Amino acid sequence: MAEPLLEVKNLKVSFRTEDGVVKAVDGVSFTLSPREVLGIVGESGSGKSVTMMSVLRLINDPNMQVEGEVIYKGRDVMKLDKDQMQEVRGGDIAMIFQDPMTSMNPVYRIGDQIAEAILTHQDVDKRTAHKRAVDLLKQVGIPQAETRVDDFPHQFSGGMRQRAMIAMALANNPDILIADEPTTALDVTIQAQIIELLDKLKDDFGSAIILITHDLGVVADIADRIAVMYAGRIVEFGAKRDLFYDPQHPYTWGLLGSIPRLDRPKTARLHSIEGMPPSLISPPQGCKFRPRCPHAFEKCMEEPELVSRVDKRDHLDRCWLEPATKRVARYQTIEGGQAA
C-alpha cells in the first residue's frame, strides 16, 4: 500500500451535556490512501459524521473535547493554527453534506459561492474564478452552465444543488473529498446520478473520497474499503468484497439482513436487529453491540479489540466469535435462512 494520505489515530470526541459525557467517537483509527474511496457506514448516532467533521475541525461547540491525532501530509491537523486550518479546509480536504437544499447560502448566486471557494485558496482574479465556476458546473453535468451559474440556489433542483455542491468542493482540486450522506435526501434516480458522478470525478480530479452513508447499497458500487461504525467505534473494517462476502461482525450481518433486497426472492419477514442503539453516556460493558446481539456469550462482557481475526491482514473486526462459528451463524441473519 502506498504512503497513507490521511491517518486518523485513536480519535475520541466527547460532548459534555447535562446528563453526562456523551462519547460520540470513542477511539477511531483508520488510514486513507491517495485516490482511494473509503466508505464509512453506520446508523444515526454511530459517530460517523462526527468523526469526519472533527477531521476538519468543523464542530464549534464549547462543550466538545477531542483527543487523538489526524495526520495529513506529515502534520497533525488537530494542532494546526487557524490560518493553516483554513488552508486545509476546502483546499486540501473538501466536504459536502447531506441536505443540498440547506447547504448553500440562499442569498448568493451559485456561481459566486463556487468562485468564493476558488478565491479563498487560489491567487486568481474574480473573472477567472467565475469562468472556472462555469467549467466546474459543466464538469458536474449542469446543463446551460453559462447561464445557470448566475442562478440562486432555490432555482436549482435538489439533484442539481448537490452537483453544484460537488463542483464547489472540487474547485481547488482537493486531495480528499468527504461526502457526508450526499444522496440520502435525494430520490433514488437522482441518487444513482450522483454516485455515478462521484465515481467519474474521482478519476478526473484524482481525489480520494470518504463516503459516509447509512446505506450499504450505496457503498457497494463505489467504495474500495468500508468501515462499519457502531456506538462511536469501528466494529468492522475491510476491503469491500471481504466485507460483503465474508462479514465478520454480527452488526454488519444485521445491517445486510435488514435491507429489503430487490435481487433476492421476497422473504416472509425481514431480519431485524432487536432493541435500540445503546446510550453513549453509559454504554454497555464490553462489546457495545452485546445487548442486541443474538450470538453474545460470556466473553462479550470484555471489550474485543479491532484486530484481524481472519487470514486477511486488512480485514479487522471487533467480535469474539470464532470465524468458523460466524460462517455458520451469519447465513441465518443475512439470507433469512435461505442458504445453509
Partner 1 sequence: MAAIKHQFGLDRSLPVQYLLMMKRLFITRDLVSYGNQALNVVPAITQAAPVTFSLVIGAAVIWVVFSVLIGLLAVILKGTIFDPLLMILALIGISMPVFWLGEVVNLITQSPNRSVIFSWVPPLGYVPITSNPWQWFLHLIFPWLTISVLYIGFYARVLRANLLDVENEDYVRTARAKGLSERRVLIKHMLRTSMITFVSLFGLDFGVLVGGGALLTEVVFGLPGVGKLTYDSLVKLDLPVIMATVIYGAFFITIANALVDVLYARLDPRIRPA
Partner 2 sequence: MSTNGDAPLVEVESLVKYFPIKSGLLSREVGRVHAVDDVTFSVREGETLGLVGESGCGKSTLGRTVLRLLDPTSGDVKFRGRSIAKLRRRELRPVRREMQMVFQDPYASLNPRKRVGSIIAAPLQIHGVGDKKERRKQVQDLLQTVGLSPEHYNRFPHEFSGGQRQRIGVARALALRPKLIVADEPVSALDVSIQSQMLNLLDDLQEEFNLTYIFIAHDLGVVRHVSDRIAVMYLGKLVELSPAEELYERPIMPYTEALLSAVPIPDPDLSDQRERIVLEGDVPSPINPPSGCRFHPRCRYMTDICAQVEPPLVDYGNGHLAACHHPLNVDKETLDRVKVSKLHTPAAADESAKPRDTSGESPGSGHLEV
* Contacted by 35, from partner 1, partner 2, none: CB < 5 to 8 Å by type: none
Cell numbers at 268, concatenated: 416472509
Pairing of strands 6-17, 20-32: antiparallel
**Does 192 engage in binding with partner 2 (CB under 8 A)?**
yes
Q: Return the range that interacts with partner 1 (CB under 8 A); candidates 17-25, 52-60, 140-148, 292-300.
A: 52-60
Beta bridge partners of 237: 227, 316
Nearest approach, Cβ of residue 217 and partner 1 (Å): 25
Looking from the CA of 137 toward its CB, the CA atoms found within 13 Å total: 27
Residue 281 binds which entry of partner 2, partner 1, none, CB below 5-8 Å type-dependent: none
**44 binding partner 2? (CB under 8 A):** yes
Query: Is residue 212 near partner 2 by the rule CB under 8 A?
Result: no
- Identify the residue among 50, 117, 293, 300 touching partner 1 (CB under 8 A): 117
Helices (H) and strands (E) in the chain, counts: 11, 12
Report the residue from 14, 172, 191, 248 that binds partner 2 according to the rule CB under 8 A: 191
Residue closer to partner 2 (CB basis): 69 or 244: 244
222 and 182 Cβ atoms separated by less than 8 Å: no
Q: Is 340 an interacting residue with respect to partner 2 (CB under 8 A)? A: no
In the numeric block, the cell 490560518 is attached to 83
**DSSP string across 38-95:** EEEE--TTSSHHHHHHHHTT----TTEEEEEEEEETTEEGGG--HHHHHHHBTTTEEE
74: left (phi over 0), alpha (psi -120 to 50) or beta: left
Instruction: Identify what 47 binds: partner 1, partner 2, none; CB under 5 to 8 Å per kind.
Output: none
Please give the span between the terminal C-alpha atoms of the chain, in angstroms, as a whole number. 36
Q: Which of residues 139-178 bind partner 1 (CB under 8 A)?
A: 152, 154, 165, 168
Residues 257-296, interacting with partner 2 (CB under 8 A): 257-263, 266-267, 269-274, 276-277
- List residues near partner 2 by CB under 8 A: 43-44, 143, 157-160, 187-193, 195-196, 214-218, 220-221, 240-241, 244, 254-263, 266-267, 269-274, 276-277
